[in-house]
Every structure is written in structure tokens, then in C-alpha cells.
Amino acid sequence: MGGLTPNKMLSILALGAMVGLLLLPIVVSMPALAGGGGTPAAGGPPPDVAKKADTPEAAKVEKARDVYYKTEGIVTGAPAPKTADNPQFYPRYNFESRVLLWIANQQHLYYGSFVLAVPIFCMIIEFMGIVSKDKAMAKKYDQLAYDFIKISLTAYSLTAILGGILIFTFLTLYPAFFGYLSSIFRPVMHIYALLFVAESGTIYIYYYGWDRMKEGLLKWIHVSMSVVLNVIGTTLMFLANSWIGFMMSPAGVDEQGRFLGNIWHSIHTALWNPLNVHRLLGNMAFGGGVVAAYAAYRFLASKTDEERAHYDWMGYIAMAIGVAFLIPLPFAGYWLMREVYAYRQQMGITLMGGLLAWLFIIQATMIGILFLSSNYYLWQAMGRMRGAEKYQRYIKYMVFVLVCGFLIFITPHTIVMTPAELKAMGGQQHPVLGNYGVMSAKNGGINVIITTTVLSFIWYQRGNKVPMVSWAKFGNIFMGCFFALAYVNIIWLAIYGYYIPANVRVGLSVPQVATTLSCLFFMTALNLVMLKGAKQSGAIEWGKISVRSQYALIMLATAFTWMMGLMGYIRSSVRLFWHVNEIMRDNSPWAYTHTTGFAANMISFNVLFFWLTILFVFFLATLGVKKAPAEAKVSVPGRVPEPATGH
């Protein structure tokens, strides 16, 4: 590695040059941004100057107050259009326009997140391949990354097509609203377009340059390119998020929706950053799930042991990445929720306790399914290791803990019941279950589930190994005590929450989360140290895993997809009858909230549609493989080092 230093320098230089070139158009367009958002027609001085100047000249320009930042700014845009229910504002086919837009949006989002996530995996895996000391392993990783990017390339063009369809749907069905939104975001619209071009350029060079750039310095440049690719991709997503953030929690405009000249305010709204984090993590988990499902599908369809071994391994890696991003996801979601409450209390109540509360119960179910299937997969995966039997005996207890956590997590706050049951119960709240229906208990439930998942993962890592360090016994006891007390602490905090006031109680979730994360980081680290030089009681026999595990992977992916559709729907419908919350009213005939059943059916349709099309994408990828059978052979593992610890 040391000899590479000049090469590294060169590669960094090359990388810098590339980033510079790619970002050039944006830098060029910056002055337009700074000068009040590309609206030279208004011609006024920049906002900060205007604020200071109290001259008659400044009095001529109309000033207004930002609805969120409360700063004063010069009105530079038209007010939000007041629409009416007629074909001029809402042109329509003989069908519900909102549903059409829903489908277009959701499909674009699915593919968008997929092509955002997969290059990030590629980056990680390719990097792992480069730093891997084992030549066979390095080759395997490299091949896997190449397989991934191949899938994402087809998906990438589909994303672009779907994006086009989405824009046309917007223009055709919601011209007034889309016109308003694009008038606000006009300064960044072309940046978005240019970034898209930059991303296309990078992804094609990245893909087609794979073979050319596989040695030495060029390989490093190649990896660096994936970094650039992902930076652009993430920026793209952030920009797209700013639009939905603006729709939910508008800023940078006055009460009539007139743009006040500061585009950064419109982008950086109250919910932008929580949305960014939540979406990025969610997309990664989703991408992992989809790739794992692909591997599971290929595993189930394989005819030879070699193929099975390869796809078993691929499914495992994808699952591990997906779950790694799944674990912090609830915490990011919690942050988002807190910000929603902080922004508008009634929005939070509509979500969690009011109109949409039932969808959150469904969401809780999906989260539970995700964690249950990942645990199940890990237990099944122990089946491919000799020596893991000693842990399999304890599965029943883990099931019990998981199920208890899940039951509490899923208990609805508002219970569906017949009037007779209501009378029997003597009130809306059940004296026992009512206590499970509140946040304090639910936080306890989900943290217990996550901690158990961590424990499953540690057992999986240990499956075929016996720690040989001299303090092994102490290590085991310490780990046991730490986990036991972590459970105690989580449950204690959940109970404690009932005895203290609400404003102190909400803070308890933070130490709860910290407890879970302590288990994740400290115990995984301790485990790795303990397993150094461990005695192997048997090799991992890739491919010798039960088919049930593969169904669990497919289940995982489906649950991810379904949940994404669901959460997208919830996030979008929490605006109720607003296009832009409290700024622009939705006066179309479809401004009502769908019934839970209809929404669930729509989500299922979107999920089905996505899986049908992505199967086609997968099919295209297999066509490519058949042309190069030699390459596929490379990926067959010979002696198998364990990626489990490398993760």
C-alpha cells in the first residue's frame, strides 16, 4: 500500500479535476442564485441591502414576512394561485388525477431510490475488493460490484423515463400547482437538470470503464469516480426532497405564497434535513432489500451448487447492508416526527393520533416484519455453519422476546371495535392494552426488537467459531451482563415513563436509543476482538442454506417496498387539502383523504407494478451474463473467507 503514494496523489488530483469539471456549470450559475434567485425582472437590491436601506427607493418595493423564518424579504414572485374545481386549473381524464399522479410519483421514487442506493453499495463493495488482501475474495467483490452496477444501469434509464412521465403527468393534470412550484424553485431547476446530466456522464464512464480501469492507479480513480457519482446522486435527492419539504413546511415565501427572493430559505425548510437523512437511510435499506431479493430469486432458480453458493453469498451481503441501514432508520424517523411536531402540532397529531394513525399501525406491522425476517434469516443462515447448533437451541427464547416487543409495538392506540365490545370494555381505552398504545411503551418495544436483532447478529458471527483469547470466559460473561442490563435499562425506561411528566418522558427515548446503539457498537466490537484467532469448528458452507431463508429475503424486500409506498403516502396525505401547506389550497375534487383500504390497495398495486418491472430489469441483466460465462465462473467461491466479519 505504501508504494502507492504518488499514485494516490495523482488519483486525488484527477478526482479533484473531475469534480471541478462536473460542478463547473453549477458554480457558473451561482451568481444567479446569490442575486435573488434568477429573477432579474424584479430588479431590486439583494434582500440584506434592502433591509438596511430605509430610503424612499426601497419603500417602493413591496416587503413581506417569511412564513417560517420570519425574516423580511422583497416580494419577487406571484402569489400562489387560488384554484377552483374546473378543468382550467385541474384538467382531467375521465379518471382520478391524483391516483395517476400517485402511481407516476411512486414508480419514479422506487427506481430513483434503487439507482441512488445501488451505486453506494458498489462503492462500498468495490472498495472492499480493493483493500481485501485475499486475491480470490477481491475478485469476488469486484465482480459483485460490477453485477450491481449492471442492474442499476438499466434501472437508471427507467428512472429517467419515469421522471419524464412524472413531469408530463404534473404538467397535464396539475398545471397551476406545478407552475407555482417551479416558479419558486426556478433558480435550482436547471441545477437539477445539469446534475442529472453529470450523473449520467459519470455512471456511463464508471460502468464502461470498469475493465479498462482495473489496475493500480486507474482502479483508485475508478473508485473515486463512484464517490463522485454518489455525491451527485445524493445532491439530486436532496434537491428533490426540498420540493416535498417545501410542500409540507413552506418557507421562503410570505403568507400569500409570494417568493421572497431567498432560495436557500425555500430549500432549507423545517423538515428538509430530517427528510434527507430519513430518505437516504431508507433508500439504502430498500436497495439492499431489492438486491437481496434478486439474489434470493436467482438462488431459488439455480441448478448448480456453485450458483447457489454465489447467490447465497450475494444475498447475505445485500441483506447485511440493508439491515445495517435499517437499524438507524427508526431513529431517523423519530427525529423526523419530532420535527413535524415542532413545526405544526396538528400535523403531528393527524399523523400519530388522528386521521392517519391507523396507517402507522400498519407501518408498525411492516417494521416488525422487517426485523422478524432479518432475525429469521440470520437464524437460518446459522444452518450453513457447522457448530452453530449450540445457538439454535435458544431461538425459541429470542422468538418470545421478539414477539413480546412486537406485540407492544403494534398495539393500536385507537382500537377498532364494535359498539358492543366498546361497552364491555367500558371506554375507548383498555386498562391493560391502553398502556401499550402510547409512545413510552412502543419505544421500549422497538428497542427490545433491535437489541435482539443485534444479539442474533452476534450469534451469527460466532456461529462456527470458538473464541480462543485468554479472557474468553470473562468476555462472554461481560457480554451477557451487558446485554441483560441493556434489556433491563430499556424496559425500565419504558416503565419509568409512566411515572413522570410528559415533557420529561419524551426525553427518555434518547437514553433508550443510546442503550440499543451501545449494544450495537460495543458488543459487535468486543465480539470481533474476541473472535481474533478463534478456532473454527467448521467452514461456512455457502449455498447450504434452507430455502426458507430465501423466502425470508423476498419477504424482507417486499416489506421494504410496501412500507416505502405506505410512508410516502402518509407523508404526502398529511397535508390534507393543501398543495402547499397553509399556502396553496387543493381545490380539486380529490382533496379528500382516501380510506385506509383504498390506500392499501393502491400501495399494493404500486408494489406489484414495481416488482414486475424490476423483474424485467433483472431478466435483462441475466441476458448479459449469458454472453460472458467466463466471468460468472470467477465469482464461484473456492475456499471461503468470511465476509461476516468484514462487514
Please identify which residue in the block is written with the cell numbers 473508485: 223
| Distance in Å, CB of 471 to another protein, minimum | 6
Is 478 near another protein (CB under 8 A)?
yes
Is 530 near another protein (CB under 8 A)?
no
x/- letters, 140..159, toward another protein (CB under 8 A): --------------------
Question: Which one, 139 or 544, has the nearer CB to another protein?
Answer: 544
From the list 239, 179, 182, 185, the residue with the least C-alpha distance to 37 is 185
Q: How many residues bind another protein (CB under 8 A)?
A: 100
Question: Which one, 51 or 548, has the nearer CB to another protein?
Answer: 548
Is 424 near another protein (CB under 8 A)?
yes
Is 453 near another protein (CB under 8 A)?
no
Check: CB of residue 423 under 8 Å from CB of residue 584: no
Q: How far apart are CA 460 and CA 388, in angstroms?
A: 8
Question: Which one, 86 or 414, has the nearer CB to another protein?
Answer: 414
What nine digits make up the cell of 311? 447467490
CA angle 319, 321, 325 (to 5 degrees): 115
Is 425 near another protein (CB under 8 A)?
yes
Pairing of strands 465-466, 535-536: antiparallel
Mapping DSSP to helix (H, G, I), strand (E, B) and coil, where does residue 40 land?
Answer: coil
10 Å CB burial of residue 423 (0-12, 13-18, 19+) is exposed
- What stretch of H or E contains 585? strand 584-585
Q: How far apart are CA 470 and CA 482, in angstroms?
A: 20
Residues 198-217 that bind another protein (CB under 8 A): none
x/- letters, 596..625, toward another protein (CB under 8 A): x-----------------------------
Is 3 near another protein (CB under 8 A)?
no
Residues 297-356 that bind another protein (CB under 8 A): 341-342, 344-347, 349-350, 353-355
Question: Which one, 111 or 459, has the nearer CB to another protein?
Answer: 459
Q: How far apart are CA 267 and CA 265, in angstroms?
A: 5
Question: Which one, 239 or 404, has the nearer CB to another protein?
Answer: 404
Q: Which stretch binds another protein (CB under 8 A): 23-31, 183-191, 238-246, 398-406?
A: 398-406
Residue 637 CB neighbour total at 10 angstroms? 18
Residues 457-476 that bind another protein (CB under 8 A): 470-474
| Candidate residues 29, 71, 182, 392; the one interacting with another protein per rule CB under 8 A | 392
What nine digits make up the cell of 328? 438507524
Residues 358-387 that bind another protein (CB under 8 A): 358, 365, 368, 372, 375-376, 379-380, 382-383
| Distance in Å, CB of 47 to another protein, minimum | 27
Question: Which one, 387 or 434, has the nearer CB to another protein?
Answer: 434
Q: Which stretch binds another protein (CB under 8 A): 139-147, 202-210, 291-299, 507-515?
A: 507-515
Q: Side chain identity at 582, as an amino acid letter? A: E
Is 580 near another protein (CB under 8 A)?
no
Please identify which residue in the block is written with the cell numbers 416488525: 368
Q: Which stretch binds another protein (CB under 8 A): 21-29, 230-238, 327-335, 488-496?
A: 488-496
Distances in Å between the Cα of 422 and the Cα atoms of 419, 435, 472, 518 are 5, 17, 56, 43
Who contacts 81 (Cβ-Cβ below 8 Å, separation ≥6)? 89, 176, 177, 179, 180, 584
x/- letters, 532..561, toward another protein (CB under 8 A): --------------x-x-------------
Check: CB of residue 230 under 8 Å from CB of residue 267: no
Question: Which one, 27 or 424, has the nearer CB to another protein?
Answer: 424
Question: Which one, 10 or 399, has the nearer CB to another protein?
Answer: 399
Check: CB of residue 312 under 8 Å from CB of residue 384: yes
Q: Side chain identity at 129, as an amino acid letter? A: G
| Candidate residues 39, 76, 241, 411; the one interacting with another protein per rule CB under 8 A | 411
Question: Which one, 346 or 536, has the nearer CB to another protein?
Answer: 346
Q: Report the phi/psi class of residue 415: left, alpha or beta, with left for phi > 0 and alpha for psi in -120 to 50.
A: beta
Question: Which one, 399 or 620, has the nearer CB to another protein?
Answer: 399
Check: CB of residue 620 under 8 Å from CB of residue 154: yes
Adjacent-strand bridge partners of 16 = none
Question: Which one, 92 or 430, has the nearer CB to another protein?
Answer: 430
| Distance in Å, CB of 509 to another protein, minimum | 10
Check: CB of residue 337 under 8 Å from CB of residue 443: no
